[in-house]
Structure 1
Amino acid sequence: MINVNGSLIKDDKAGISIKNRGLYYGDAVFETIRVIHGKIIFWEDHYFRLMASMRIMRMEIPSSFSPEFLEEEILQIVNENGLENSPARVRMTVYRKEGGYYTPASLDVDYIITATALDNAFYTLPEGDYEVELFKDHYINSGLLSTIKTNNKAVNVLGSIFATENDFKNCFLLNENKSIVEALNANVFVVNGRKIKTPPLKDGALNGIVRKQLLSIVGTIKDFEIEEASISPFELQKADEIFLTNVIAGIQPVTKYRKKRYVTDVARELLAKLNVKARLG
C-alpha cells in the first residue's frame, strides 16, 4: 500500500500525473526514515529538516503538517504494509502541485509515503571490504540547496553508475573547490587519532540526520575532538579511519581507498552509542 495525499492505494493502482513537477523539474523534497517496531527513529530531526527543506524550496507548508499528523501518516502506511512489528524503511516525498513551467502555478504541495522492509532492527557494522573511489566527473555545488534532500540527484546517480561499472562500493563527491563533500548516499567522517573531521554544511554537505547525532555523541566523549572543516582529497590517504553515515545504514566503515587500508575502531565505538541513542530518542 502507498499513501498518496492521505489516501491509501494499492501499489499497482497508485500513480502520479505525467505533469508532476517532481518529474518535470525535480521540484520535490524527500525524507528517508527508519521505523523500528512502530517507532520512528530520530523523528524530531526528520520533521524539522523536512520543514526547513520545504521553506528553502519556497513550498507552502499545509496547516495540517504537524509532527503528530505526519507521524500518524507514516505509521499508518507502515502498519498497512504489515511492518508494525519489524524494521521498515519509509520514504516521504513532497512535491509542488502541478502547473506552470519553471514558475509554478501554485506553491501548494502534494505528498507520497511508501514503506518497505529492512533486514535489521538496529544498526550493525557490516563485515567485508568496502572500497571507495573519488568521483571527479561532476561536482556538488556548495551552498544551501545541496544541504537538503531534493529530487535533483544527477551527480549521485552518475557517480553510482561509475561505482558499479568499476566495482567500487561507493564514491566520494567533490564540490567546485575540490573539497570532499560527502559520499554518494552518506556523510563522510575522517579520523586521525582521536580527532574526527566532517565536511561543513557550507561546503555543500547534506544536513544528515545521523551526522547530526554523531556530532552530538562525539562531543560528549572524553579525549575525542570533532571538527566541521573542509577536507581535501589528500587527507583521505593520510587518515587512520574513514566512515560513512546515513539513517538507514547507520555507520559504514571504509576499508580501502586507492592503496590505503583503514582500521574500523572508532566506527565500532560510535556504533554502540548510536544504537543507544536510537533506542532512547
Structure 2
Amino acid sequence: MDHYLCFNGEFIKEQEFSIPGNNRAFYFGDSLFESMHAYSTFIPLFKLHFDRLLQGMEVLGYEQPTTFTSSSVAAIITRLLNRNKQFKSTRVRLTVFRNSGGLYLPTNNSASYLIQTSTLDFDKLAHKQSSMIVDIFPNQIKCAGELSPFKTGNALLYVMAARYAKLNRLHDSIIINQHGRFVELSSSNIFGIKENTLITPPLQEGCVAGIMRNFIIHQLAPKTGYNVELKPITQKDFVDFEEAFATNAVSGIRNIVGIGTKRFYSTKYRGLQQQLEKLMF
C-alpha cells in the first residue's frame, strides 16, 4: 500500500517526494520540528505542540504561511492519517523549514512545512518498554540560549548522545551543561521523585521545553497531588532521588531504574503513568 506525506498541503506518495539540493534544512539544519502522538487521528497535546512551533518560528525569523494555522494543520494531519489508514498509535512529525536562498544569511524568510506519519510499535503510551539504565554523556555539553527550548534540525548533540548510549550498552545518556548539571536525555526530559515532589531542571539549565514536561508540570502533578520543583540537578542530587523517569510526547513516561551503580525504586512512577494515560486518552 502506498504511504503518503503532506508537503505544504499537498499529499504526495513518499517514494515520489524529493527536496531540492539547496534545501536549507538539509544545508544548514535551518528547521524546526515537532514529534506528536496521534491515536485514532486524535493528537491529545496538539495545541501545546503547535504553540511551541510558532514560538520557535518567531525566534528563527520565519514568516508564517497564511494557511499554516492550528486548525488547518490539525485537519491535514487527520486527512493524512486516514489516507495512510493509521488509526492506532502513530508518530506524527511536523517539520517547518526556511525556503532556499542564501548561504548562512538567508535571502528570504518564507517557510514550508512537511508532515510525515509512522506507526508506533506500542498502543497509547509505552507501558511495556523496558526500564532504563542511563549514565552521563561526557563528550559534549549543552548551553542554555534562545534556541535551546526548541527541537531544531541541528540535532547532532542528540545523535551523538544516543550513539554513546548504544556503544556503552545503556538505554540512554544524560546531557549536561557547562556547569556539569543535568539537562535532559537524548530524546526526553528528565524528572526525579523525592517524597511528594517531582523535580526537573528549569529551562534556564538548557533543556528542551518538552511538551510532556509541560503537561506533567501543569496538569498531571496537580491532579495526582504532587508538588513540582524546578531546580538545577547535580549528579549528587540525582542519585539521592527515590525514583527517576524520562518523559516525551510520544511515549509518555519511562522509568529510569539506574545510573551507574545506583538503583532506584519503581513504584510511584507507575501510578503517574496510569493517570497520564487516563488524562490523555
Q: Which residue of 1 aligns with 2:258?
A: 256
Q: Which residue of 2 aligns with 1:197?
A: 199
3-state secondary structure, aligned to 1:139: coil
Alignment of 1:188-227 (within 5 A): 188-216=190-218, 217-222=220-225, 224-227=226-229
Q: TM-score, normalised by structure 1?
A: 0.95
From 214, 220, 233, the counterpart of 1:231: 233
- State percent identity of aligned pairs: 27
Q: Contact conserved, 2:131 with 2:255, CA < 8 A, in 1?
A: no
1:123 Cα deviation from its structure 2 partner: 1.5
CA distance in 2, matches of 1:177, 1:58: 30
Q: Which residue of 1 aligns with 2:269?
A: 267
From 84, 101, 104, the counterpart of 1:102: 104
3-state secondary structure, aligned to 1:196: strand
CA distance in 1, matches of 2:243, 2:224: 18
3-state secondary structure, aligned to 1:172: strand
1:125 Cα deviation from its structure 2 partner: 2.6
Post-superposition, which runs of at least 4 consecutive aligned residues in structure 1 deviate over 2 A? 124-129, 219-222
Q: Which residue of 2 aligns with 1:14?
A: 17
Q: Which residue of 1 aligns with 2:66?
A: 63
Q: Contact conserved, 2:5 with 2:11, CA < 8 A, in 1?
A: yes
1:176 Cα deviation from its structure 2 partner: 1.3
Q: Which residue of 2 aligns with 1:181?
A: 183
Letter in 1 for 2:181: S
Q: In angstroms, what is the RMSD of aligned CA positions?
A: 1.3
1:121 Cα deviation from its structure 2 partner: 3.2
From 71, 76, 85, the counterpart of 1:73: 76
Q: Which residue of 1 aligns with 2:115?
A: 113
Q: Contact conserved, 2:150 with 2:208, CA < 8 A, in 1?
A: yes
CA distance in 2, matches of 1:80, 1:128: 32
1:247 Cα deviation from its structure 2 partner: 0.8
CA distance in 1, matches of 2:131, 2:125: 18
3-state secondary structure, aligned to 2:117: strand
1:127 Cα deviation from its structure 2 partner: 5.4
CA distance in 2, matches of 1:5, 1:214: 32
Letter in 2 for 1:58: G
3-state secondary structure, aligned to 1:94: strand
Q: Which residue of 2 aligns with 1:161?
A: 163
Q: Which residue of 1 aligns with 2:50?
A: 47
User: Aligned residue pairs: how many?
Assistant: 277
Letter in 2 for 1:205: C
CA distance in 2, matches of 1:121, 1:247: 14
Letter in 1 for 2:24: R
3-state secondary structure, aligned to 1:255: strand
CA distance in 1, matches of 2:277, 2:204: 28
Q: Which residue of 2 aligns with 1:30?
A: 33
CA distance in 2, matches of 1:183, 1:254: 11
3-state secondary structure, aligned to 1:133: strand
